[in-house]
Amino acid sequence: MTTSRGWFGRPIISTASPWGGDGGNSGGNGGPRNPWAVPPGGRKGVQKPTALDEFLAKARRGGGGGGGGIPGGLPNPAPRTLWTIGALVLVGLWILFTSVHNIAPQQRAVVTNFGSYGGTLEPGLRFTAPAPFASVEKVDVSAIREENFPEGGGANLMLTRDQNLVDLAYSVRWNIRNPEDYVFQLADPTATVRAASESAMREAVANVGLDQAIGPGRTAVEAQVQSRTQQILDEYNSGIQIQGVAIKQADPPEQVNEAFKDVTAAQQDASTVRNQAQAYAQQKLALAQGEAASFNAFYEQYRLAPEVTRRRMYYETMEDVLSKTDKTIVEAPGVTPYLPLDRQQQGRRLTEPQVQNAPQTGAAR
């Protein structure tokens, strides 16, 4: 639109289109075409619906519309039929997944019917009523579980009979013996085993001294803890079997550990000296017992023949004494004794030290 002033000063408004004289329908006069105008060839016709659109429309109409159906010759099902088929499929899957159970060889399955015990399933393919009428809980009866004390490390101090503290680290191994009791009797089986084991260990340590707790008494403490823990769990009807208790560490508190090591070394030295003294005593005792047995044997012979035994003992004694000294034998009276002076002098020379003469030097030859 353009504005111009005439003779009287009034504005003259021009209504010419910016797209040309005909409104830009044909793009004449060299101007641009109006984008909102009808194209020269006219508007395009409406597109026909696709096969998918027709199928969805027929499904919404309930299969009406001239006896149409699903492509391929099958009749178009009603919505109620589709809902029925879907519901049957869901029910079948629900029954399949809640009624059929595959029990592994190391497992047992406890069945509950509306919360009450309904039986125990053995390994294999088993069937039960579907949930929520029956529920199945599988438990592994062959796995050995282990509880370590203290949990997460750190100190675990216990008081002994002689009012000393000992730092204990131990483990408890257990498995499931009765699946029914394990499922129904205990709300938290692991916590129950830990509490019973710790109570039994503190009781056992309180009945022994420190030397026994950290030394040779550890085996007895382990056996006592296993027996006492099993007794407590049996009173609870827990269905749990304790397989063993092992003390991994038994030391005095860290603050006095070095002093206790010195005490232990001194005790070991004392034990070594005591063993040596006992061995010496046993040796002397065996020697004395041998001499006593020999004397008893001589006495029996003396009692049977006193004169002969006395003479023999005299001869043996004299032989033992005279064999170690030089002797001169003088025979019966009236016989001139022969005194071997040369032999005596020879024996004296053999016993005296020999003096070596120094070599002579000088003119003497």
- 152 and 132 share one domain: no
Residue 288 lies in a domain: no
pTM for this entry? 0.52
CA pair distance 331, 298, nearest whole angstrom:
32
Q: What percent of the chain has pLDDT over 90?
A: 34
Residue 42 lies in a domain: no
Provide the 3-class DSSP secondary structure of residue 184.
helix
Q: Has residue 83 been placed in a domain? A: yes
pLDDT of residue 9: 44
Q: What is the pLDDT of residues 100-121, one digit of tens each?
A: 888 999 999 999 988 888 888 8
Of 194-198, 221-225, 259-263, 278-282, the one with minimum mean pLDDT is: 259-263
**Shared-domain flag, residues 130 and 219:** no
Are 248 and 156 within one domain? yes
Question: Is the Cβ–Cβ distance between 267 and 215 less than 8 Å?
Answer: no
Q: How many domains does the chain have?
A: 2
DSSP notation for 191-239: HHHHHHHHHHHHHHHHTS-HHHHHTTTHHHHHHHHHHHHHHHHHHTT--
Of 252, 270, 302, at which residue does a domain stop?
A: 252
Same structural domain, 169 and 80 = no
User: Angle between the 306-322 and 257-304 helix axes, to the nearest 10 degrees?
Assistant: 120
pLDDT of residue 364: 42
Helix, strand and coil content of the chain, in percent to the nearest 5, comes to: 45, 20, 35
pLDDT attached to residue 260:
78
The domain in which residue 134 lies consists of: 73-140
| Any domain includes 19 | no
Residue 117 lies in a domain: yes
Q: Can you name the residues that pair with 121 across neighbouring β-strands?
A: 109
Q: Is residue 197 in some structural domain? A: yes
Shared domain check, 150 and 131 = no
DSSP state letters, 315-326: HHHHHHHHTTS-
Same domain for 247 and 203: yes
Regarding whether 136 and 151 lie in a shared domain, the answer is no
pLDDT at 259: 81
Looking at residue 75, its pLDDT comes to 58
Amino acid 301: pLDDT: 82
* Whole-number pLDDT of residue 208: 94
- Which CATH number is 245's domain given? 3.30.479.30
Is the pLDDT confidence value at 228 over 70? Answer: yes
Q: Check whether residue 247 and residue 155 sit in a common domain.
A: yes
The verdict on 233 and 149 lying in the same domain is yes
Residues 151 and 245 in one domain: yes
Residue 237 lies in a domain: yes
Residues 150 and 214 in one domain: yes
| pLDDT tens-digit readout, 16-52 | 555 555 555 554 555 566 665 555 655 555 566 676 6
Structural domain ending residue among the three candidates 188, 221, 252: 252
- Whether the predicted pLDDT of 303 surpasses 70: yes
Percent share of the chain, pLDDT over 70: 69
Q: Do 196 and 118 share a structural domain?
A: no
Residues 80-98: tens digit of each pLDDT: 788 888 888 888 888 888 8
Indicate whether 248 belongs to any domain.
Answer: yes
Which of 237, 252, 267 marks a domain boundary? Answer: 252
